[in-house]
Structure 1
Amino acid sequence: MKLLSALKRCVAAGAVILAAVSLQPTSASAAAPPVVGGTRAAQGEFPFMVRLSMGCGGALYAKDIVLTAAHCVSGSGNNTSITATAGVVDLRSSSAIKVRSTKVLQAPGYNGTGKDWALIKLAQPINLPTLKIAETTAYNSGTFTVAGWGAAREGGAQQRYLLKAQVPFVSDAACGQAYDELVPNEEICAGYNQGGVDTCQGDSGGPMFRKDNAGAWTQVGIVSWGYGCARAGYPGVYTEVSTFAAAIKSAAATL
């Protein structure tokens, strides 16, 4: 949908991870230095995390529905081609729960810009905790947690183990200075101005979340896109979940 340097964070064989990178400035079109870091999540720390077979992440919205990014799927309708892996941080674990999809619902009106959310109906429920979504903008600030099995460096390979990191909120005004393509009412940005920590290819569709006032994890974003990974001056761009909460709830009811 965008220039090659404005990468959607999904790859066919992708993986996901948040990374620390050398803090040398790079242009939007230059290759980023190798990234390292992110810390390994503990087994059971984020039980709602899901790995999808097309190379994306997701979260359990309901025990039989995964919330992911619209650009991770090819449209709406019956679909049995996706396998969701859950219940483990190690994708090679014999304890992994694997369930096939039955239907996909891509955000109505999605055309490659904004509205980057989708739901995947599973053939059977996964008996794990779900991740509630933010229904207001009350939690669209502060420090967020991101997690995934995506690339540990720009253009890198998928990770075997689930990695996690924290990223700070970036205002629409500041993010818009980096990205002319930003859709402020539909997207939320997070990251460090100096770079170094970010989601990357293969993390698409995974959740960005934080604790609510009751101490419960709440999803505020969906990994969507950005210029490269962890580049200075280019934060990650996420679907603003609160904007679409009512639409997501309504769509889930039809599944």
Structure 2
Amino acid sequence: MVRWQKLFGAAAAALTAMAFGGAAVASPAAAAPESDVTPFVVGGTRAAEGEFPFMVRLSMGCGGALYTTQIVLTAAHCVGRTGANTSITATMGSVDLQSSSRITVRSTYVYRAPGYNGSGKDWALIKLASPVNLPTLKIATTTAYNSGTFTVAGWGANREGGSQQRYLLKAQVPFVSDTSCRQSYPDLIPSEEICAGYPQGGTDTCQGDSGGPMFRRDAANAWIQVGIVSWGNGCARPNYPGVYTEVSTFASQIASAAASL
């Protein structure tokens, strides 16, 4: 099964080729007609200003979250090789991408998960040129929060085949067990991925939401990130939940990589 990664539009093919050194790799933009290449939170509502201040929009058409005030956690399939990179612009600080109060900062370095080859290990870090004065989103370090109902948010499409959104959308999706998810996705990697969505569909992340966080409240009622938007079959289709990188699996690697940047 082709992994329909939730990267936005035409940028997907170019970034996928760049990520694999120009090799011909099937990507959502290259392998599917436009109707199958969707971006955004489907079935969502507009987020309130300041509701999720850690959310980041990346210029290649992905999302992310502030891991530190100078590092963004996103998906590996959104970026190229590990190394210096000043081509990415991160926009944050407002739900409105056109707001005069938005903050934009260029990247200086990209760290892509070691061993990433398009299947699993879908996480990456982007170092910004300067820190920002915004709250960060802590990540889960155990599987304790890998259940229940999650929140997803992004500027991706609000329907399959739709267009990028100006305003941040949010939605809630329930946990789907590995056993159930593998009925839809036989190539799921349970040790590295977590699924969420409704059996009837209707609510999901979509292309353009790639790299964004899936999060919930922890025991102290603070937001904690448990997933990274990774892939799925279309957007909000019945019996095809969204697939997310299981953050707790890679928490120690993420922390070590961030400390080295």
The two structures share one fold, judged by TM-score above 0.5: yes
Report 1:152-231 matches (<5 A). 152-231=158-237
Structure 1 residue identity aligned to 2:51: E
Matched, 1:127 2:124: no
CA separation of 1:86/1:181 partners in 2, compared to 1, >3 Å: closer, same or farther? same
Percent identity between the two aligned chains? 76
Instruction: Tell me the equivalent position of 1:93.
Output: 99
Structure 1 residue identity aligned to 2:246: E
Q: Give distance in 1, aligned partners of 2:210 and 2:96.
A: 18
Structure 2 residue identity aligned to 1:223: V
What SS does the aligned partner of 2:127 have? strand
**Among candidates 6, 9, 18, match of residue 6 of structure 2:** 9
Larger strand fraction of residues? 1
Contact 2:115–2:121 (8 Å) recurs in 1: yes
Q: Give distance in 1, aligned partners of 2:10 and 2:223.
A: 28
Contact 1:13–1:54 (8 Å) recurs in 2: no
Structure 2 residue identity aligned to 1:11: F
Contact 2:42–2:203 (8 Å) recurs in 1: no
1:103-147 deviation line (CA, Å, top 9, x unaligned): 000000100000000000000001100000000000000000000
Structure 2: segments with no counterpart, 5+ residues: 12-31
The Cα shift of 1:37 comes to 3.8
Normalised to the residue count of structure 1, the TM-score between the two structures is 0.90
Matched, 1:66 2:72: yes
- How many aligned residue pairs are there? 237
CA separation of 1:176/1:212 partners in 2, compared to 1, >3 Å: closer, same or farther? same
Asked which structure has the greater RCO (Cα within 8 Å, sep 6+), the reply is 1
Q: Give distance in 2, aligned partners of 1:207 and 1:70.
A: 13
Q: Give distance in 2, aligned partners of 1:196 and 1:36.
A: 7
What SS does the aligned partner of 2:232 have? strand
Q: Give distance in 2, aligned partners of 1:58 and 1:46.
A: 12
1:72-120 deviation line (CA, Å, top 9, x unaligned): 0011000000000000000010111000000000000100000000000
The Cα shift of 1:13 comes to 6.5
The Cα shift of 1:181 comes to 1.5
Instruction: Tell me the equivalent position of 2:15.
Output: none
Q: Give distance in 2, aligned partners of 1:186 and 1:119.
A: 17
Larger helix fraction of residues? 2
**Among candidates 90, 96, 112, match of residue 106 of structure 1:** 112
Matched, 1:249 2:251: no
Structure 1: segments with no counterpart, 5+ residues: 15-28
After superposition, the CA RMSD in angstroms is: 1.7
What SS does the aligned partner of 1:252 have? helix
Structure 2 residue identity aligned to 1:159: Q
Q: Give distance in 2, aligned partners of 1:187 and 1:227.
A: 15
The Cα shift of 1:36 comes to 6.2
What SS does the aligned partner of 1:175 have? helix
Q: Give distance in 2, aligned partners of 1:155 and 1:184.
A: 29
Structure 1 residue identity aligned to 2:7: C
Matched, 1:142 2:139: no
1:220-239 deviation line (CA, Å, top 9, x unaligned): 00000000000000000000
Contact 1:57–1:202 (8 Å) recurs in 2: yes
CA separation of 1:13/1:52 partners in 2, compared to 1, >3 Å: closer, same or farther? farther
